[in-house]
Amino acid sequence: MLWTLVRRSVARHRALVLGLAALLCGFQVLLVIVGTNYQREGLFGQVAALVPAFVQEALGGLMIASFAGTVALGFFHPVVMLALSCGGIYVASEPAGEVEHGLVDLIAARPVPRHLLMTRSLLVYAGITAAIVTLMFAANQTAVRLLAPAGVALLARSRLLWVAANLLAVVWCLGAAALAIAAGARRRAAAAGSMALVAVCLYLLHFAAAAWARLRPAARISPFHYYESSPTLLGLSLPVRNIVVLLIATAVLFVIAQVLYARRDL
C-alpha cells in the first residue's frame, strides 16, 4: 500500500523532478567548463582578488579561487541550495494539495492509515532530492573526468560526497518543516510558498551572520548554519556532527507532522 502511494506521488512530481535534475546537473557541467577555461587562462588569481572576504566565506572560502573549488561550487552555491530546497519543499507539501483538491477523500476513505500518507511524503521528497543530488554528483564527476585540464589538482571524491550528504541533510530538514506545515494546511501554495520564503530568510540570516557577529546566535536556528562546505572540501573536518543535528531536526519535524496530521480534519 505504501509503495502504491509512493509510486503515484513520484509520478505526479515527474515533470518537476526531471526539470530540476536537468537544471542542476547542467549547472554542474557548466561549472566544470568554466573552471576548465579559468584554469587554462590562469584567471583564478584575479577571481580571488575581486571577491570580498565575507562573500568568499559564504561561497566556500578560498576554495572558489581554484579549479577544485569551482567545480564543487555546484553543491554550495546559494541558487543551487535554494533551488533544491524549494523542490523538496514543494514535493513535501503534497498532503496540503491533496486536501485542497479533495484527493484525500479518495485515499483516506480507503483502509489507508493516515500516518502512511505522511510517511509516503517523507519518502518521496527525501528520495527525490537524494536522487537529484546523486545525479548532480554523477554529472560533476563525469564532466571532471572528461573536461578537466591535464595535471590540475582535483578534489578527493569522498570530500565532495560528504558535502553532498550535508547539502542533502539541509534539504531534508527544510522538507520536514514543509511537511509539518502541510500537515495542518488546506492550500498547497500557502504551505509551500510560506516555507520557501522561510527557507530564503533562513539562508539570508546565515549569510548575514557570516559578516555580522551579533547575528551568529540567532543563525543557529538556520539549517544552513549546519552546512559548512569549506572545512570539508579543504579536508579539515568531516560534517558528521552537522549532519546528525540536521537529521535529528528532520526526525523531530516529521513526528510533529505526523501528530498534526493525525489530529486534523481533512
Partner 1 sequence: MSDAIRTESLTKYYGPVVAIESLNLTVNRGEVYGFLGPNGAGKTTTIRILLDLVHATKGRALVDGLDCRRDSVNVRARIGYLPAEMPLYREMSGAGYLDYLAALQREPIDQAWRQRLLSRFDVSDVDLRRRLDDLSHGMKRKFGIIQALMGRAPLLILDEPTSGLDPLMIEAFAETVQELKNEGRTTIFLSSHVLSEVERLCDRVGIIRRGALARQTSIADIRRETPRRVRVFFDGTPPPPPQQLAAALRKSDGRRWDLEWQGPLGDALEALRGLDVADIEIEPFKLDDYVLQVYADHPAAGRG
Positions touching partner 1 (CB under 8 A) are 1, 4-5, 8, 11-12, 101-113, 263, 265-266
Chain-centroid distance, C-alpha 113: 29
To the nearest whole angstrom, how small is the minimum distance from the Cβ of residue 9 to partner 1?
Answer: 11
Residue with Cβ nearer partner 1 (186 or 216): 186
How many Å is the maximal CA-CA distance in the chain? Answer: 65
Say how many CA atoms lie within 13 Å of 91 toward its Cβ: 36
Residue with Cβ nearer partner 1 (7 or 40): 7
Helix (H, G, I), strand (E, B) or coil at 163: helix
Residue with Cβ nearer partner 1 (102 or 151): 102
Residue with Cβ nearer partner 1 (11 or 150): 11
To the nearest whole angstrom, how small is the minimum distance from the Cβ of residue 107 to partner 1?
Answer: 6
Return the C-alpha cell found at 203.
Answer: 539562508
**Among the listed residues 266, 3, 256, the one whose alpha carbon sits nearest the alpha carbon of residue 124:** 3
To the nearest whole angstrom, how small is the minimum distance from the Cβ of residue 120 to partner 1?
Answer: 11
For 12, 42, 86, 266, the CA distances from 23, given in Å and listed in that order, are 19, 28, 14, 35
To the nearest whole angstrom, how small is the minimum distance from the Cβ of residue 3 to partner 1?
Answer: 9
Residue with Cβ nearer partner 1 (4 or 158): 4
To the nearest whole angstrom, how small is the minimum distance from the Cβ of residue 22 to partner 1?
Answer: 20
Residue with Cβ nearer partner 1 (2 or 53): 2
To the nearest whole angstrom, how small is the minimum distance from the Cβ of residue 257 to partner 1?
Answer: 18
Residue 87 has phi, psi (to 5 degrees) of -60, -50
Say how many CA atoms lie within 13 Å of 15 toward its Cβ: 1
Rounded CA gap, 86 and 46, in Å?
33
